[in-house]
């Protein structure tokens, strides 16, 4: 019977310092074993580098655009307006948490900013969180989250430090006149003492009736005397923006006049000139 040359042909293969006679079949078996062992040993390394190649970190830098303005109060208003429009997740971008230090320690209170101008941020309260709210150090932080694209959410925060001053009653009354009817109702209800222990809907109904009977007359409602207005005169404002996938950038504005009187000279520390007496420093990240 004829034997297949494939099986019968023998080779001399060097193996472990010896010359071994081996037919083709056994030679391929040995080669498969060797190649298989290499694959098994190297596989984790190859898989890892494959994964690394496909999941590269892409950490961008989110820079704050100062080309439109270098005036921090104008920038505050721009960001606040954008928070209103950039499909924001914050229903009330004007609402901030103020923090003060009183005799009993630190306190915070949620208030709504009623006016923002070059002089500062105006708000009013029925019961000030800290007894001596006027002429006190104050700070507040406001955080806005918004959608940048289908997948990306952006985050911005602004932290303000300053001094509070009480504003004249007639100025506060002027601010009250600008409130919407629903806001006026809320402010009136918040100032009521509720001695009769009525529930909220019992207290709300007469005000709604008053508005529905004569909206024009309702608009002329005077501000309840329990409300008092304050202005926060800012000394520093820090702006931050970034997303989950980026390194954020912060820009801190300080009053040039304050910095000059201070021992730490920001100007010699790389600060740039802003507008309206402000200077700013870029802090990264």
* Residues lying near ligand FMN in the complex (CB under 6 A): 92, 95, 109-112, 123-127
155 contacts 144 by C-beta, under 8 angstroms = yes
Q: 229 forms bridges with which residues in the sheet? A: 124
Task: Please state the closest distance from residue 100 (CB atom) to ligand FMN, in A.
Answer: 13
CA count, 13 A, side-chain hemisphere, 195: 0
Cα separation, 10 vs 7, in Å, equals 8
9/131 with CB nearer ligand FMN: 131
Task: Please state the closest distance from residue 112 (CB atom) to ligand FMN, in A.
Answer: 4
Of 232, 239, 275, nearest in space to 255 by CA: 275
User: What HEC string does 196-253 produce?
Assistant: CCCCHHHHHHHHHHHHHHCHHHHHCCCCCCCCEEEEEEEEEEEEEEEECCEEEEEEEE
Cα separation, 283 vs 120, in Å, equals 24
Task: Please state the closest distance from residue 206 (CB atom) to ligand FMN, in A.
Answer: 21
189/267 with CB nearer ligand FMN: 189
Cα separation, 208 vs 185, in Å, equals 8
Task: Please state the closest distance from residue 96 (CB atom) to ligand FMN, in A.
Answer: 9
Task: Please state the closest distance from residue 113 (CB atom) to ligand FMN, in A.
Answer: 8
Burial of residue 153 (number of CB atoms within 10 Å: 0-12, 13-18, 19+): middle
86/112 with CB nearer ligand FMN: 112
Task: Please state the closest distance from residue 92 (CB atom) to ligand FMN, in A.
Answer: 5
63/125 with CB nearer ligand FMN: 125
37/126 with CB nearer ligand FMN: 126
- The number of angstroms, rounded, from the C-alpha of 140 to the middle of its chain's C-alpha atoms is 13
130/236 with CB nearer ligand FMN: 130
């Amino acid at each position: 019977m004829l034997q297949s040359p494939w099986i019968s042909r023998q080779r001399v293969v060097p193996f472990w310092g010896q010359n071994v006679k081996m037919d083709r079949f056994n030679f391929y078996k040995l080669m498969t074993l060797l190649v298989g062992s290499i694959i098994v040993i190297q596989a984790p390394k190859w898989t890892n580098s494959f994964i690394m190649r496909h999941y590269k970190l892409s950490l961008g830098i989110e820079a704050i655009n100062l080309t439109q303005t270098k005036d921090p109060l104008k920038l505050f208003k721009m960001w606040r307006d954008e928070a209103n429009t950039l499909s924001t997740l914050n229903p009330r971008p004007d609402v901030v948490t103020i923090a003060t230090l009183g005799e009993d320690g630190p306190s915070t209170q949620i208030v709504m900013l009623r006016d923002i101008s070059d002089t500062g941020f105006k708000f009013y309260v029925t019961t000030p969180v800290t007894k001596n709210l006027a002429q006190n150090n104050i700070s507040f932080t406001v955080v806005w989250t918004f959608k940048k694209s289908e997948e990306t959410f952006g985050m911005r925060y602004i932290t303000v430090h300053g001094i509070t001053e009480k504003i004249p009653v007639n100025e506060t009354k002027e601010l009250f006149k600008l409130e919407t009817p629903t806001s006026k109702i809320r402010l009136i209800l918040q100032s009521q003492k509720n001695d009769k222990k009525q529930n909220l809907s019992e207290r709300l109904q007469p005000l709604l009736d008053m508005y529905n009977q004569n909206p024009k007359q309702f608009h002329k409602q005077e501000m309840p005397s329990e409300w008092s207005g304050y202005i926060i005169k800012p000394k520093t404002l820090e702006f931050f923006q970034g997303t989950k996938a980026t390194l954020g950038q912060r820009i801190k504005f300080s009053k040039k006049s304050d910095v000059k009187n201070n021992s730490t000279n920001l100007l010699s520390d790389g600060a740039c000139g802003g507008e309206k007496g402000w200077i700013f420093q870029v802090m990264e990240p």
